[in-house]
Amino acid sequence: MIYLDNAATTPVVPAALEAAWPWLTAVFGNPSSTHELGLRAKTALESARSRIANWLDCPASDLVFTSGGTEGDNLAITGLALANPRGKQIVSAKTEHEAVLETLDYLERVHGFEITWLNVDHQGNIDLAELGKALRSDTTLVTLMLANNEIGTTHPLPQIIQATHAVGALVHTDAVQAAGWFDLRVGKNGSVVAGVDALTISGHKLGAPKGSGVTYIRGRLVVEPLLHGGGQEFGRRSGTENVAWAVALATAVDGLPEFSTESARVSALRDEFITQVLSSIPEAQLTGNPTERHPAIASFTFAGLNGETLLLELEQRGVIVSSGSACAAGSDDPSHVLIASGIDPDVAQTSVRFSLSHSTTAEELSTAAAALADAVSIVSGLAN
């Protein structure tokens, strides 16, 4: 099997599972308990937090352990919007993940926020001049993802942060797909997210279990919690902490390769794959920005073909991929990201996303490209 659906989820790395085990078994204490088992659990939790804080270059107390990307996006956006309303305007784009789109819809419907949607071009790029016009003295928050999960296009975060801070508003970024591929040191000058106010990470995209995650929210910022209760996580997220998953997440993070050499290495593999696909399959069109993109995501449309049949043909050839995003799977709707980018719905319906991992090889990608060419010839025969 050649698994090229890593943007949907990654396997748990063995070290993360092994590191989690003791905190589920022998040392199962509640970190809020004051006896030995509780104190040891608390120490493990705080050590996991410190290791992740080291990775993100932020104070450990700025991190909230969550159940993943969806919760993290909800917490950062809703929590900041409700607690820091300079006005009630939020700026975003329709290419964001559903976890952001639906949170903004909720804030609009239930709390009367006004959402200003930035246009995106055919490659999913925003226009910084349009952002400049959208920012106002009553803007509360800008939320724009670092790298798109479907088409891979990246947003120019340094300029977004600078423009937004110039009007005194906050910036949140969904960095769920970016972990391990970009410089996520929020405290480091020159990093792509330097100075961002909130940033969401999900564990299952980087080798930790599903249901693990962490969100950075700058310490001085007040956050309206989503979960009310015992006041854990500095009062930002009540509920007994999942020590085992926090330890697993920190262990997976510790095992990530150094992002800059790794991104260059995998981008080269991705580009070679893109060239193979575009040169052998006339119907194939690359989606997203050809250069400003996620190192490990290559997504194509195949106008005139049936995307679902293509996926099945690929699976029969041992290549596992997905159409658009896994989160939208199960629905026949074309990808909202492609629609927002102005792609014709019939064409958007044919999209197939290949997402690489840190261990994907050149051989696997050539095999996948050949399988894709083969699958396309079968499916286009069916279409004729």
**Does 174 interact with ligand PLP (rule: CB under 6 A)?**
yes
Minimum Å gap between C-beta 38 and ligand PLP is: 28
Residue 287 in the binding site for ligand PLP (CB under 6 A): no
Alpha-carbon torsion angle 260, 263, 268, 272, nearest 10: -170
Number of residues binding to ligand PLP, judged by CB under 6 A: 15
Q: Looking at 2, 44, 56, 68, which residue binds ligand PLP (CB under 6 A)?
A: 68
Minimum distance between the CB of residue 179 and ligand PLP, rounded to whole angstroms? 10
Name residues contacting ligand PLP, limited to 219-238 (CB under 6 A).
none
Q: Which is nearer to ligand PLP, 201 or 310 (CB)?
A: 201
Buried b (16+ CB within 10 A) or exposed e, 266-304: bbebbeebbebbeeebebbbbbbbeeebbbbbbbbbbee
Q: Tell me whether residue 327 is one of the annotated catalytic residues.
A: yes
Sequential DSSP letters for 352-373:
EEEE--TT--HHHHHHHHHHHH
Q: Which is nearer to ligand PLP, 115 or 327 (CB)?
A: 327
> Strand, helix or coil at 125?
coil
Which part of the chain contacts ligand PLP (CB under 6 A), choosing from 118-126, 169-177, 304-312, 341-349? Answer: 169-177
Query: 154 by DSSP, 3-state: which?
Result: strand
The DSSP code for 205 is G
Residues β-bridged to residue 300: 286, 352
Whichever of 204 and 270 has its CB closer to ligand PLP, that residue is 204
Site track for ligand PLP across 120-159, x = CB under 6 A: -------------------------x---x----------
Instruction: Return left, alpha or beta for 195; rule: phi > 0 is left, psi -120 to 50 is alpha, else beta.
Output: left
**Minimum distance between the CB of residue 265 and ligand PLP, rounded to whole angstroms?**
22
Exactly one of 6, 74, 89, 202 binds ligand PLP (CB under 6 A); which one? Answer: 202
Give the interface segment with ligand PLP, choosing from 171-179, 183-191, 231-239, 351-359 (CB under 6 A).
Answer: 171-179
- Determine the 3-state secondary structure of 14 from DSSP: helix
Kindly write down the DSSP assignment for every residue of 238-289, as one continuous string: -S---HHHHHHHHHHHHTSPPHHHHHHHHHHHHHHHHHHHHHH-TTEEE-S-
Q: Return the ∠ at Cα 266 (arms to 261 and 269), rounded to 5°.
A: 135
CB 214 within 8 A of CB 207: no
Three-state DSSP at 59 gives: coil
Segment 310 to 329, residues that bind ligand PLP, using CB under 6 A: 327
Residue 48 or 146: the one with the smaller Cβ distance to ligand PLP is: 146
Candidate ranges 65-73, 121-129, 229-237, 363-371; the one touching ligand PLP (CB under 6 A): 65-73
Binding map of ligand PLP across residues 86-105, x = CB under 6 A, - = no contact: -----------x-x------
> CB–CB of 190/161 below 8 Å?
no
Of residues 222 and 329, the one with the C-beta less far from ligand PLP: 329
Stated length of the chain: 384
Annotated catalytic residue, options 37, 221, 327, 373:
327
Q: CB-wise, 327 or 378, nearer to ligand PLP?
A: 327
Judged by CB under 6 A, the residue of 69, 180, 209, 225 near ligand PLP is: 69
Radius of gyration, alpha carbons of the chain:
21
The residue range among 40-48, 132-140, 172-180, 266-274 that interacts with ligand PLP, by the rule CB under 6 A, is 172-180
Rule CB under 6 A: is residue 70 a binding residue for ligand PLP? yes
Exactly one of 177, 232, 242, 355 binds ligand PLP (CB under 6 A); that residue is: 177
How far is 27 from 41, CA to CA, in rounded Å?
Answer: 7
Residues forming contacts to ligand PLP in the complex (CB under 6 A) are: 68-70, 73, 97, 99, 145, 149, 174, 176-177, 202, 204, 213, 327
- Residues annotated as part of the active site: 327
